[in-house]
């Protein structure tokens, strides 16, 4: 399992290194700040969708490893969200916080992104065993916030790319499928797709 965790770590770190390298080598186009902002934002969204796909994948394949890398993937999602916010504050706002109010009026979708990031923060800080034990049943309830965060991120993204929704539609479709897979009846059916080894033997011996 340690190997899988290392692989996830390296795979999640690579995009950051690549984009930082492009900026350092002057190959990030005329607006490197914007380049980082957009790439970090897209990466956070992709990681969010990948994290949400791990539970259905575990049900389908019965490989428990998916559950073990879920927390790590969730933390990477949050980290890229923070990098996205940092790029905004540094490169777009130039750390001039007096301009923030005006920018929020001009681009209200930033408030929506901020709300999503706050939710991801709540999930990140309570993603440990200690919080799981302390919160008990409330933990599961709290972690359903991830779906609200996904809806907010999709709304945030939609607001930015309203003129051309081709790319957005792909992400939205993936999000809808992942949410449908959480409907109890569909989720149970998913678990039955691949019979347990024991059951397979019984049915095979009956034939």
CB 15 within 8 A of CB 23: no
Q: Is residue 81 close enough to count as binding ligand HEM by CB under 6 A?
A: yes
**Count of all residues that appear for the chain in the document:** 207
Minimum CB separation of residue 171 from ligand HEM in Å reads 8
CB 84 within 8 A of CB 110: no
Minimum CB separation of residue 200 from ligand HEM in Å reads 40
Quote the CA–CA distance of 20 and 35 in Å, as a whole number: 10
9-17, 19-27, 80-88, 178-186 -> range binding ligand HEM (CB under 6 A): 80-88
Task: Single out the residue of 54, 73, 153, 174 in contact with ligand HEM (rule: CB under 6 A).
Answer: 153
Helix, strand, or coil (residue 141): helix
What is the b/e burial string over 139-150, where b = at least 16 CB atoms within 10 angstroms of the residue's CB?
Answer: eeeebebbeebb
Residue 92 structure tokens: 């777009």
**Residue closer to ligand HEM (CB basis): 120 or 181:** 120
Quote the CA–CA distance of 103 and 124 in Å, as a whole number: 28
59-67, 79-87, 129-137, 173-181 -> range binding ligand HEM (CB under 6 A): 79-87
Q: Is residue 157 close enough to count as binding ligand HEM by CB under 6 A?
A: yes
> Using CB under 6 A as the criterion, which residues of the chain lie in contact with ligand HEM when the complex forms?
37-38, 41-42, 44-45, 48, 81, 84-85, 88, 92, 110, 113-114, 116-117, 153, 156-157, 160-161
């Amino acid at each position: 399992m340690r190997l899988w965790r290392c692989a996830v770590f390296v795979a999640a770190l690579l995009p950051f290194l690549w984009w930082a390298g492009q900026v350092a080598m002057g190959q990030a186009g005329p607006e490197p700040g914007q380049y980082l902002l957009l790439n970090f934002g897209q990466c956070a969204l992709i990681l969010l969708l990948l994290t949400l796909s791990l539970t259905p994948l575990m049900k389908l394949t019965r490989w428990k490893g998916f559950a073990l890398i879920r927390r790590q993937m969730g933390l990477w999602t949050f980290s890229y969200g923070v990098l996205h916010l940092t790029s905004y504050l540094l490169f777009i706002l130039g750390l001039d916080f007096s301009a923030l109010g005006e920018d929020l009026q001009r681009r209200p979708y930033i408030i929506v992104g901020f709300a999503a990031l706050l939710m991801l923060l709540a999930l990140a800080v309570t993603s440990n065993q200690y919080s799981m034990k302390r919160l008990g049943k409330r933990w599961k309830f709290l972690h359903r916030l991830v779906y609200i965060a996904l809806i907010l991120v999709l709304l945030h993204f939609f607001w930015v790319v309203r003129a051309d929704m081709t790319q957005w539609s792909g992400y939205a479709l993936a999000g809808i499928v992942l949410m449908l897979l959480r409907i109890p009846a569909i989720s149970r059916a998913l678990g039955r797709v691949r019979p347990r080894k024991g059951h397979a033997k019984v049915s095979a011996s009956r034939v």
